[in-house]
Structure 1
Amino acid sequence: MTHQGSQPLQGGHGQSQTLTSCAPALEVRGMQKTFRDRRSEIHVLNNLSLQVRPGEFVSMIGPSGSGKSTLFHIIGGLMAPDAGSIFMDGQDVTGAQGRIAYMPQQPALFPWRTVEDNVLLPEELRGTSKAAARASARDWMKRAGLAGFEKAYPHTLSGGMQQRAAFLRALMSPQEVMCLDEPFSALDALTRSDMQRWLLDIWEDTRRSVLMITHHIEEALLLSDSIYILSARPGTILKRVEVPFPRPRRDDMLTDPSFIALRTEISAIMREEQHKRGSYLE
Protein backbone atom coordinates (compact mmCIF):
# COMPACT_ATOMS: atom_id res chain seq x y z
CA MET A 1 0.00 0.00 0.00
CA THR A 2 1.36 3.43 -0.90
CA HIS A 3 0.47 6.41 1.26
CA GLN A 4 2.58 9.18 -0.18
CA GLY A 5 0.86 12.27 -1.55
CA SER A 6 -1.82 14.67 -0.43
CA GLN A 7 -4.97 13.26 -2.03
CA PRO A 8 -7.79 13.02 0.48
CA LEU A 9 -9.00 9.66 1.68
CA GLN A 10 -12.64 9.41 0.79
CA GLY A 11 -15.25 8.72 3.40
CA GLY A 12 -18.84 9.54 4.00
CA HIS A 13 -21.57 11.75 2.64
CA GLY A 14 -20.44 11.58 -0.98
CA GLN A 15 -17.61 14.10 -1.18
CA SER A 16 -14.85 15.84 0.72
CA GLN A 17 -15.40 19.28 2.14
CA THR A 18 -12.46 21.55 1.33
CA LEU A 19 -11.74 25.13 2.27
CA THR A 20 -11.30 27.78 -0.37
CA SER A 21 -7.74 27.82 -1.66
CA CYS A 22 -5.77 30.79 -0.32
CA ALA A 23 -2.42 31.68 1.23
CA PRO A 24 -1.77 29.44 4.25
CA ALA A 25 -2.03 30.90 7.74
CA LEU A 26 0.85 28.55 8.60
CA GLU A 27 3.18 26.67 6.28
CA VAL A 28 6.04 24.37 7.25
CA ARG A 29 8.49 23.68 4.42
CA GLY A 30 11.09 20.90 4.35
CA MET A 31 11.62 20.74 8.11
CA GLN A 32 14.70 18.83 9.27
CA LYS A 33 15.88 18.35 12.85
CA THR A 34 18.53 16.10 14.40
CA PHE A 35 19.61 16.07 18.05
CA ARG A 36 23.30 15.31 18.56
CA ASP A 37 25.62 14.69 21.46
CA ARG A 38 29.11 13.24 21.71
CA ARG A 39 27.93 9.66 21.48
CA SER A 40 24.91 9.63 19.22
CA GLU A 41 22.47 11.52 17.07
CA ILE A 42 18.70 11.21 16.83
CA HIS A 43 17.11 12.22 13.54
CA VAL A 44 13.70 13.57 14.59
CA LEU A 45 12.19 15.34 11.55
CA ASN A 46 12.83 14.45 7.92
CA ASN A 47 11.75 16.89 5.19
CA LEU A 48 8.39 17.48 6.86
CA SER A 49 6.01 19.91 5.15
CA LEU A 50 2.45 20.87 6.03
CA GLN A 51 -0.07 23.70 5.75
CA VAL A 52 -2.87 25.21 7.82
CA ARG A 53 -5.23 27.36 5.78
CA PRO A 54 -6.93 30.41 7.35
CA GLY A 55 -9.77 29.28 9.59
CA GLU A 56 -8.82 25.61 9.24
CA PHE A 57 -8.62 23.08 12.09
CA VAL A 58 -5.76 20.67 11.37
CA SER A 59 -4.62 17.70 13.48
CA MET A 60 -1.40 15.69 13.46
CA ILE A 61 -1.43 12.07 14.55
CA GLY A 62 1.44 9.61 14.64
CA PRO A 63 3.65 7.42 16.81
CA SER A 64 5.16 8.64 20.05
CA GLY A 65 8.55 10.18 19.37
CA SER A 66 7.76 11.11 15.76
CA GLY A 67 8.71 14.75 16.35
CA LYS A 68 5.31 16.39 16.78
CA SER A 69 6.21 18.36 19.91
CA THR A 70 9.62 19.20 18.46
CA LEU A 71 7.82 20.68 15.46
CA PHE A 72 5.72 22.85 17.78
CA HIS A 73 8.88 24.13 19.46
CA ILE A 74 10.30 25.06 16.06
CA ILE A 75 7.07 26.75 14.95
CA GLY A 76 7.06 28.73 18.21
CA GLY A 77 10.66 29.86 17.70
CA LEU A 78 11.92 28.02 20.78
CA MET A 79 14.17 25.71 18.76
CA ALA A 80 16.09 26.19 15.53
CA PRO A 81 15.67 23.68 12.67
CA ASP A 82 18.65 22.19 10.86
CA ALA A 83 16.89 22.96 7.58
CA GLY A 84 13.49 24.15 6.49
CA SER A 85 11.34 27.24 7.00
CA ILE A 86 8.20 28.43 8.78
CA PHE A 87 5.88 30.81 6.93
CA MET A 88 2.85 32.65 8.25
CA ASP A 89 0.65 34.53 5.81
CA GLY A 90 3.44 34.25 3.25
CA GLN A 91 6.12 35.75 5.54
CA ASP A 92 9.18 33.78 6.62
CA VAL A 93 9.04 33.73 10.43
CA THR A 94 11.57 30.94 11.08
CA GLY A 95 13.03 31.47 14.55
CA ALA A 96 10.59 34.25 15.48
CA GLN A 97 8.86 34.00 18.83
CA GLY A 98 5.44 35.29 19.83
CA ARG A 99 3.79 34.39 16.52
CA ILE A 100 1.48 31.63 17.79
CA ALA A 101 -0.94 31.08 20.65
CA TYR A 102 0.07 27.87 22.43
CA MET A 103 -1.81 25.48 24.71
CA PRO A 104 0.31 22.71 26.27
CA GLN A 105 -0.79 19.29 27.52
CA GLN A 106 -1.13 20.61 31.07
CA PRO A 107 -3.12 23.81 31.74
CA ALA A 108 -0.03 25.68 33.02
CA LEU A 109 -2.16 28.32 34.72
CA PHE A 110 -0.35 30.67 37.11
CA PRO A 111 -1.36 29.47 40.59
CA TRP A 112 -1.03 32.94 42.18
CA ARG A 113 -3.47 34.50 39.70
CA THR A 114 -7.23 34.04 39.80
CA VAL A 115 -8.88 32.20 36.92
CA GLU A 116 -10.08 35.50 35.50
CA ASP A 117 -6.61 37.04 35.75
CA ASN A 118 -5.14 33.99 33.97
CA VAL A 119 -7.65 34.28 31.16
CA LEU A 120 -7.16 38.00 30.60
CA LEU A 121 -3.34 37.82 30.72
CA PRO A 122 -2.87 38.09 26.91
CA GLU A 123 -4.99 41.26 26.82
CA GLU A 124 -3.06 42.62 29.77
CA LEU A 125 0.24 42.02 27.96
CA ARG A 126 -1.14 43.77 24.87
CA GLY A 127 -1.81 46.87 26.92
CA THR A 128 -5.59 46.62 26.70
CA SER A 129 -7.31 48.65 29.39
CA LYS A 130 -8.07 46.62 32.49
CA ALA A 131 -11.78 47.30 32.24
CA ALA A 132 -11.98 46.16 28.61
CA ALA A 133 -9.78 43.10 29.25
CA ARG A 134 -11.86 42.08 32.25
CA ALA A 135 -15.11 42.52 30.35
CA SER A 136 -13.82 40.38 27.50
CA ALA A 137 -12.53 37.69 29.88
CA ARG A 138 -15.82 37.53 31.75
CA ASP A 139 -17.78 37.24 28.52
CA TRP A 140 -15.69 34.29 27.38
CA MET A 141 -15.78 32.68 30.82
CA LYS A 142 -19.58 32.86 30.80
CA ARG A 143 -19.66 31.17 27.41
CA ALA A 144 -17.22 28.53 28.68
CA GLY A 145 -19.32 27.66 31.73
CA LEU A 146 -16.87 29.33 34.12
CA ALA A 147 -19.16 32.12 35.33
CA GLY A 148 -18.99 32.32 39.11
CA PHE A 149 -15.37 31.13 39.19
CA GLU A 150 -13.76 34.42 38.17
CA LYS A 151 -12.09 34.94 41.56
CA ALA A 152 -11.28 31.28 42.17
CA TYR A 153 -7.71 30.01 41.99
CA PRO A 154 -6.71 27.26 39.55
CA HIS A 155 -6.15 24.57 42.19
CA THR A 156 -9.80 24.76 43.20
CA LEU A 157 -11.04 23.82 39.71
CA SER A 158 -11.52 20.41 38.12
CA GLY A 159 -9.15 19.31 35.35
CA GLY A 160 -11.71 20.07 32.66
CA MET A 161 -12.38 23.55 34.03
CA GLN A 162 -8.65 24.28 34.17
CA GLN A 163 -8.34 23.21 30.53
CA ARG A 164 -11.19 25.51 29.56
CA ALA A 165 -9.46 28.42 31.27
CA ALA A 166 -6.17 27.56 29.55
CA PHE A 167 -7.89 27.40 26.17
CA LEU A 168 -9.59 30.76 26.74
CA ARG A 169 -6.22 32.28 27.58
CA ALA A 170 -4.86 31.03 24.26
CA LEU A 171 -8.02 32.16 22.49
CA MET A 172 -7.60 35.71 23.81
CA SER A 173 -4.07 35.92 22.44
CA PRO A 174 -3.84 38.13 19.33
CA GLN A 175 -2.07 35.52 17.21
CA GLU A 176 -4.12 33.98 14.41
CA VAL A 177 -2.57 30.50 14.66
CA MET A 178 -3.24 28.35 17.72
CA CYS A 179 -1.09 25.29 18.46
CA LEU A 180 -2.72 22.75 20.79
CA ASP A 181 -0.40 20.04 22.14
CA GLU A 182 -2.62 17.10 23.16
CA PRO A 183 -4.83 19.45 25.19
CA PHE A 184 -7.11 16.70 26.55
CA SER A 185 -4.59 13.92 27.19
CA ALA A 186 -4.64 14.32 31.00
CA LEU A 187 -8.45 14.12 31.26
CA ASP A 188 -10.63 11.10 31.94
CA ALA A 189 -12.66 9.72 29.03
CA LEU A 190 -15.96 11.37 29.97
CA THR A 191 -14.41 14.79 30.64
CA ARG A 192 -12.41 14.49 27.43
CA SER A 193 -15.60 13.86 25.45
CA ASP A 194 -17.27 16.87 27.07
CA MET A 195 -14.25 19.04 26.28
CA GLN A 196 -14.26 17.95 22.64
CA ARG A 197 -17.88 19.04 22.26
CA TRP A 198 -17.16 22.30 24.07
CA LEU A 199 -14.12 23.02 21.88
CA LEU A 200 -16.17 22.35 18.76
CA ASP A 201 -18.79 24.90 19.84
CA ILE A 202 -16.22 27.58 20.73
CA TRP A 203 -14.17 27.01 17.58
CA GLU A 204 -17.27 27.24 15.38
CA ASP A 205 -17.77 30.77 16.75
CA THR A 206 -14.18 31.94 16.25
CA ARG A 207 -12.78 29.92 13.33
CA ARG A 208 -9.19 30.45 14.40
CA SER A 209 -6.48 28.59 12.47
CA VAL A 210 -5.58 25.58 14.62
CA LEU A 211 -2.83 22.95 14.51
CA MET A 212 -3.42 20.24 17.12
CA ILE A 213 -1.40 17.20 18.19
CA THR A 214 -3.43 14.17 19.22
CA HIS A 215 -2.96 10.40 19.40
CA HIS A 216 -6.71 9.77 19.04
CA ILE A 217 -7.99 9.12 15.53
CA GLU A 218 -11.61 9.59 16.58
CA GLU A 219 -10.82 12.94 18.20
CA ALA A 220 -8.96 14.10 15.10
CA LEU A 221 -11.87 13.15 12.84
CA LEU A 222 -14.42 14.79 15.10
CA LEU A 223 -12.60 18.13 15.38
CA SER A 224 -10.61 18.57 12.19
CA ASP A 225 -10.97 19.78 8.63
CA SER A 226 -7.85 17.83 7.69
CA ILE A 227 -5.43 15.43 9.35
CA TYR A 228 -1.73 14.81 8.78
CA ILE A 229 -0.56 11.26 9.49
CA LEU A 230 3.09 11.22 10.54
CA SER A 231 5.58 8.38 10.18
CA ALA A 232 7.69 6.99 12.97
CA ARG A 233 10.91 8.86 13.73
CA PRO A 234 12.29 10.58 11.78
CA GLY A 235 8.87 12.15 11.32
CA THR A 236 7.64 12.88 7.84
CA ILE A 237 4.16 13.10 6.33
CA LEU A 238 2.60 9.83 5.22
CA LYS A 239 -0.75 11.29 4.20
CA ARG A 240 -2.94 14.36 4.42
CA VAL A 241 -6.56 13.37 4.96
CA GLU A 242 -9.32 15.81 4.08
CA VAL A 243 -12.14 15.13 6.56
CA PRO A 244 -15.38 14.97 4.53
CA PHE A 245 -17.98 15.36 7.26
CA PRO A 246 -20.04 18.57 7.28
CA ARG A 247 -20.12 21.05 10.12
CA PRO A 248 -21.49 21.53 12.66
CA ARG A 249 -20.40 18.10 13.91
CA ARG A 250 -22.63 16.05 16.19
CA ASP A 251 -22.06 13.00 18.40
CA ASP A 252 -24.17 10.75 16.15
CA MET A 253 -21.44 11.17 13.52
CA LEU A 254 -19.32 8.72 15.54
CA THR A 255 -21.63 5.84 14.64
CA ASP A 256 -21.98 6.75 10.96
CA PRO A 257 -20.65 3.85 8.82
CA SER A 258 -18.61 6.28 6.70
CA PHE A 259 -16.99 7.73 9.84
CA ILE A 260 -16.13 4.24 11.05
CA ALA A 261 -14.73 3.31 7.63
CA LEU A 262 -12.47 6.38 7.51
CA ARG A 263 -11.30 5.79 11.08
CA THR A 264 -10.47 2.20 10.16
CA GLU A 265 -8.56 3.28 7.05
CA ILE A 266 -6.44 5.78 9.00
CA SER A 267 -5.80 3.16 11.68
CA ALA A 268 -4.63 0.73 8.98
CA ILE A 269 -2.09 3.28 7.68
CA MET A 270 -0.74 3.81 11.18
CA ARG A 271 -0.59 0.10 11.96
CA GLU A 272 1.23 -0.60 8.69
CA GLU A 273 3.76 2.06 9.65
CA GLN A 274 4.08 0.51 13.10
CA HIS A 275 4.75 -2.89 11.58
CA LYS A 276 7.23 -1.52 9.04
CA ARG A 277 9.24 0.56 11.52
CA GLY A 278 8.73 -1.60 14.61
CA SER A 279 7.61 1.57 16.38
CA TYR A 280 5.29 2.02 19.33
CA LEU A 281 1.93 3.69 18.84
CA GLU A 282 -0.04 5.02 21.78
Structure 2
Amino acid sequence: MMLRDLKNRIISRPNPYTLPEWKLPFFPRSCGETTSILDTEIHGGGEKTFVQINWCTSGCGQVSIDGGDEFTVRTGDVFYSLPGNSRKNAGTEAPWKLRWLTFDGPCAADFIRSYDYPIHLKNAGRCPEELFQEFERGLKENSLISLRRLVGIITEILSLIGGIHDDSTPEARLIRCFIETVRDHYMQSQVNVNIIAEMLGVHRSTLSRILTEKMNTSPGRYLLQVRIQRALSLLRNTDLPVHVISRKVGLPDPAHFARLIHSATGMSPGAFRRAAVS
Protein backbone atom coordinates (compact mmCIF):
# COMPACT_ATOMS: atom_id res chain seq x y z
CA MET A 1 0.00 0.00 0.00
CA MET A 2 1.42 3.37 -0.98
CA LEU A 3 1.24 6.58 0.98
CA ARG A 4 -1.60 8.74 -0.27
CA ASP A 5 -0.44 11.96 -1.95
CA LEU A 6 3.17 10.82 -1.69
CA LYS A 7 5.48 13.44 -3.18
CA ASN A 8 9.07 12.56 -3.99
CA ARG A 9 11.80 14.91 -5.14
CA ILE A 10 14.82 12.86 -6.19
CA ILE A 11 18.21 13.83 -7.59
CA SER A 12 20.71 11.09 -8.36
CA ARG A 13 24.00 10.57 -10.13
CA PRO A 14 23.50 9.80 -13.85
CA ASN A 15 23.38 6.01 -13.43
CA PRO A 16 22.57 5.23 -9.79
CA TYR A 17 22.62 1.46 -10.40
CA THR A 18 26.24 1.40 -11.60
CA LEU A 19 29.17 2.28 -9.35
CA PRO A 20 31.53 4.97 -10.70
CA GLU A 21 35.03 3.84 -11.61
CA TRP A 22 36.69 6.47 -9.41
CA LYS A 23 38.44 5.39 -6.22
CA LEU A 24 36.40 6.54 -3.22
CA PRO A 25 35.61 4.96 0.16
CA PHE A 26 31.94 4.84 -0.93
CA PHE A 27 29.84 6.55 -3.58
CA PRO A 28 27.26 9.33 -3.11
CA ARG A 29 24.17 8.05 -4.94
CA SER A 30 21.03 10.17 -4.54
CA CYS A 31 19.28 12.78 -2.45
CA GLY A 32 15.79 14.17 -2.09
CA GLU A 33 12.73 14.87 0.00
CA THR A 34 9.61 12.79 0.60
CA THR A 35 6.34 14.35 1.74
CA SER A 36 3.43 12.09 2.67
CA ILE A 37 -0.06 12.15 4.10
CA LEU A 38 -1.39 9.44 6.41
CA ASP A 39 -1.17 5.81 5.28
CA THR A 40 1.46 3.14 4.87
CA GLU A 41 4.29 2.58 2.44
CA ILE A 42 6.50 -0.51 2.24
CA HIS A 43 9.96 -0.11 0.73
CA GLY A 44 11.74 -3.01 -0.93
CA GLY A 45 14.34 -5.14 0.77
CA GLY A 46 16.88 -7.34 -0.98
CA GLU A 47 17.10 -5.26 -4.15
CA LYS A 48 18.09 -2.12 -2.18
CA THR A 49 21.87 -1.83 -2.41
CA PHE A 50 22.47 1.46 -0.62
CA VAL A 51 22.60 3.10 2.79
CA GLN A 52 19.85 5.68 3.30
CA ILE A 53 19.92 8.44 5.95
CA ASN A 54 16.56 10.09 6.69
CA TRP A 55 16.13 13.36 8.62
CA CYS A 56 12.56 14.21 9.68
CA THR A 57 11.80 17.89 9.06
CA SER A 58 8.04 17.92 9.67
CA GLY A 59 5.26 15.79 11.11
CA CYS A 60 5.53 12.38 12.72
CA GLY A 61 5.44 8.73 11.67
CA GLN A 62 6.02 5.12 12.64
CA VAL A 63 8.88 3.14 11.09
CA SER A 64 9.76 -0.54 11.18
CA ILE A 65 13.01 -1.98 9.80
CA ASP A 66 13.01 -5.61 8.59
CA GLY A 67 9.76 -6.31 10.40
CA GLY A 68 11.15 -5.30 13.79
CA ASP A 69 9.49 -3.22 16.48
CA GLU A 70 8.05 0.07 15.31
CA PHE A 71 9.60 3.32 16.50
CA THR A 72 8.22 6.84 16.34
CA VAL A 73 10.06 9.37 14.19
CA ARG A 74 9.37 12.99 15.09
CA THR A 75 10.61 16.30 13.72
CA GLY A 76 14.35 16.52 14.35
CA ASP A 77 14.85 12.74 14.53
CA VAL A 78 17.11 10.77 12.18
CA PHE A 79 16.98 7.13 11.17
CA TYR A 80 18.86 5.09 8.60
CA SER A 81 18.62 1.77 6.77
CA LEU A 82 21.28 -0.55 5.38
CA PRO A 83 21.52 -2.40 2.05
CA GLY A 84 18.93 -5.17 1.93
CA ASN A 85 16.80 -3.73 4.74
CA SER A 86 13.05 -3.59 4.19
CA ARG A 87 11.30 -0.62 5.70
CA LYS A 88 7.67 0.13 6.54
CA ASN A 89 6.56 3.72 7.05
CA ALA A 90 3.26 4.86 8.53
CA GLY A 91 2.61 8.59 8.78
CA THR A 92 0.76 9.61 11.95
CA GLU A 93 0.99 13.41 11.78
CA ALA A 94 0.81 15.11 8.42
CA PRO A 95 2.55 16.38 6.47
CA TRP A 96 5.36 13.96 7.24
CA LYS A 97 8.53 15.17 5.54
CA LEU A 98 11.83 13.32 5.31
CA ARG A 99 15.01 14.85 3.89
CA TRP A 100 17.20 11.96 2.81
CA LEU A 101 20.36 10.93 1.01
CA THR A 102 21.85 7.61 -0.07
CA PHE A 103 25.31 6.23 -0.73
CA ASP A 104 26.50 2.84 -1.92
CA GLY A 105 29.56 0.74 -2.70
CA PRO A 106 31.20 -2.30 -1.06
CA CYS A 107 32.24 -0.32 2.04
CA ALA A 108 29.07 1.77 2.49
CA ALA A 109 27.42 -0.38 5.17
CA ASP A 110 30.66 -0.89 7.10
CA PHE A 111 31.29 2.85 7.01
CA ILE A 112 28.07 3.80 8.76
CA ARG A 113 28.31 0.80 11.11
CA SER A 114 31.71 2.10 12.24
CA TYR A 115 29.94 5.02 13.94
CA ASP A 116 28.08 2.55 16.19
CA TYR A 117 24.92 4.65 15.94
CA PRO A 118 21.52 3.18 16.74
CA ILE A 119 19.15 2.93 13.77
CA HIS A 120 17.01 5.71 15.27
CA LEU A 121 18.63 8.86 16.69
CA LYS A 122 16.27 11.13 18.61
CA ASN A 123 16.53 14.92 18.86
CA ALA A 124 19.32 15.34 16.31
CA GLY A 125 18.10 18.91 15.85
CA ARG A 126 17.30 20.98 12.80
CA CYS A 127 18.11 19.39 9.48
CA PRO A 128 21.22 21.01 7.91
CA GLU A 129 19.38 21.97 4.74
CA GLU A 130 22.40 23.80 3.31
CA LEU A 131 24.40 20.54 3.35
CA PHE A 132 21.63 18.63 1.57
CA GLN A 133 21.41 21.38 -1.05
CA GLU A 134 25.18 21.23 -1.55
CA PHE A 135 24.86 17.44 -1.87
CA GLU A 136 22.27 17.88 -4.63
CA ARG A 137 24.50 20.32 -6.51
CA GLY A 138 27.41 17.88 -6.33
CA LEU A 139 25.30 15.02 -7.70
CA LYS A 140 24.32 17.20 -10.66
CA GLU A 141 27.97 18.09 -11.29
CA ASN A 142 29.04 14.42 -11.07
CA SER A 143 32.80 14.92 -11.27
CA LEU A 144 35.50 13.24 -9.20
CA ILE A 145 36.08 16.50 -7.31
CA SER A 146 32.36 16.93 -6.60
CA LEU A 147 31.95 13.34 -5.37
CA ARG A 148 34.96 13.75 -3.09
CA ARG A 149 33.24 16.81 -1.67
CA LEU A 150 30.04 14.81 -1.15
CA VAL A 151 31.93 12.14 0.79
CA GLY A 152 32.97 14.94 3.13
CA ILE A 153 29.38 16.18 3.40
CA ILE A 154 28.13 12.71 4.36
CA THR A 155 30.80 12.58 7.06
CA GLU A 156 29.77 16.04 8.28
CA ILE A 157 26.10 15.06 8.43
CA LEU A 158 26.97 11.91 10.37
CA SER A 159 28.95 14.00 12.84
CA LEU A 160 25.95 16.30 13.32
CA ILE A 161 23.46 13.52 14.02
CA GLY A 162 25.86 12.11 16.59
CA GLY A 163 25.62 15.22 18.75
CA ILE A 164 23.71 15.70 21.98
CA HIS A 165 20.32 13.96 21.80
CA ASP A 166 19.23 14.15 25.44
CA ASP A 167 16.65 16.90 26.00
CA SER A 168 15.71 15.82 29.50
CA THR A 169 17.49 18.64 31.39
CA PRO A 170 17.93 22.41 30.89
CA GLU A 171 21.68 21.85 30.44
CA ALA A 172 21.13 19.28 27.67
CA ARG A 173 18.69 21.60 25.89
CA LEU A 174 21.18 24.46 26.13
CA ILE A 175 23.93 22.29 24.64
CA ARG A 176 21.68 21.21 21.77
CA CYS A 177 20.71 24.82 21.06
CA PHE A 178 24.36 25.88 21.23
CA ILE A 179 25.39 23.20 18.71
CA GLU A 180 22.55 24.20 16.37
CA THR A 181 23.42 27.90 16.67
CA VAL A 182 27.08 27.25 15.86
CA ARG A 183 26.04 25.08 12.91
CA ASP A 184 23.78 27.82 11.55
CA HIS A 185 26.09 30.81 12.09
CA TYR A 186 29.76 29.68 12.07
CA MET A 187 30.22 31.10 8.56
CA GLN A 188 29.55 34.65 9.80
CA SER A 189 32.88 36.17 10.85
CA GLN A 190 31.32 38.51 13.42
CA VAL A 191 29.83 35.58 15.37
CA ASN A 192 31.75 34.85 18.57
CA VAL A 193 30.98 33.36 21.98
CA ASN A 194 29.49 36.60 23.32
CA ILE A 195 27.08 36.85 20.40
CA ILE A 196 26.12 33.17 20.65
CA ALA A 197 25.46 33.50 24.39
CA GLU A 198 23.27 36.53 23.65
CA MET A 199 21.37 34.55 21.00
CA LEU A 200 20.75 31.80 23.54
CA GLY A 201 19.76 34.21 26.30
CA VAL A 202 22.39 32.94 28.72
CA HIS A 203 25.45 34.49 30.35
CA ARG A 204 28.74 33.63 28.68
CA SER A 205 30.18 32.22 31.92
CA THR A 206 27.17 29.91 32.34
CA LEU A 207 27.52 28.65 28.78
CA SER A 208 31.24 28.09 29.26
CA ARG A 209 30.74 26.22 32.53
CA ILE A 210 28.10 23.86 31.14
CA LEU A 211 30.02 23.05 27.96
CA THR A 212 33.22 22.44 29.92
CA GLU A 213 31.38 20.10 32.32
CA LYS A 214 29.32 18.21 29.72
CA MET A 215 31.45 18.31 26.56
CA ASN A 216 34.95 18.87 27.94
CA THR A 217 35.48 21.89 25.71
CA SER A 218 34.89 25.63 25.78
CA PRO A 219 32.37 27.43 23.54
CA GLY A 220 35.14 29.29 21.76
CA ARG A 221 37.14 26.14 21.06
CA TYR A 222 34.06 24.31 19.79
CA LEU A 223 33.22 27.18 17.42
CA LEU A 224 36.80 27.28 16.16
CA GLN A 225 36.91 23.51 15.63
CA VAL A 226 33.71 23.60 13.59
CA ARG A 227 35.22 26.32 11.40
CA ILE A 228 38.51 24.46 10.99
CA GLN A 229 36.86 21.11 10.21
CA ARG A 230 34.61 22.74 7.63
CA ALA A 231 37.63 24.47 6.10
CA LEU A 232 39.55 21.18 5.90
CA SER A 233 36.56 19.53 4.23
CA LEU A 234 36.41 22.31 1.62
CA LEU A 235 40.17 22.13 1.05
CA ARG A 236 39.99 18.36 0.56
CA ASN A 237 36.90 18.21 -1.58
CA THR A 238 36.65 21.43 -3.59
CA ASP A 239 38.85 23.55 -5.83
CA LEU A 240 37.69 26.82 -4.26
CA PRO A 241 40.49 29.36 -3.74
CA VAL A 242 41.89 29.41 -0.21
CA HIS A 243 40.77 32.99 0.41
CA VAL A 244 37.20 32.06 -0.57
CA ILE A 245 37.22 29.10 1.83
CA SER A 246 38.52 31.27 4.67
CA ARG A 247 35.58 33.65 4.20
CA LYS A 248 33.08 30.79 3.91
CA VAL A 249 34.03 29.48 7.36
CA GLY A 250 34.03 32.84 9.14
CA LEU A 251 37.82 33.29 9.19
CA PRO A 252 38.36 36.06 6.63
CA ASP A 253 41.92 37.05 7.58
CA PRO A 254 44.09 34.93 5.21
CA ALA A 255 47.19 35.04 7.43
CA HIS A 256 45.24 34.05 10.55
CA PHE A 257 43.45 31.32 8.58
CA ALA A 258 46.77 29.92 7.33
CA ARG A 259 48.18 29.84 10.88
CA LEU A 260 45.13 27.95 12.16
CA ILE A 261 45.34 25.36 9.37
CA HIS A 262 49.07 24.93 9.99
CA SER A 263 48.43 24.49 13.71
CA ALA A 264 45.79 21.83 12.99
CA THR A 265 47.63 19.90 10.27
CA GLY A 266 51.29 20.95 10.30
CA MET A 267 50.84 22.20 6.72
CA SER A 268 49.79 25.33 4.90
CA PRO A 269 46.31 25.29 3.33
CA GLY A 270 47.81 24.72 -0.11
CA ALA A 271 50.08 21.92 1.06
CA PHE A 272 47.19 20.23 2.89
CA ARG A 273 45.09 20.36 -0.28
CA ARG A 274 47.88 18.87 -2.40
CA ALA A 275 48.47 16.08 0.13
CA ALA A 276 44.75 15.31 0.33
CA VAL A 277 44.37 14.75 -3.41
CA SER A 278 47.67 12.98 -4.03
TM value normalised by structure 2? 0.27
TM-score (norm 1): 0.27
Report which of the two has the higher share of helix.
2
Higher relative contact order (CA 8 A, sep 6+): 1
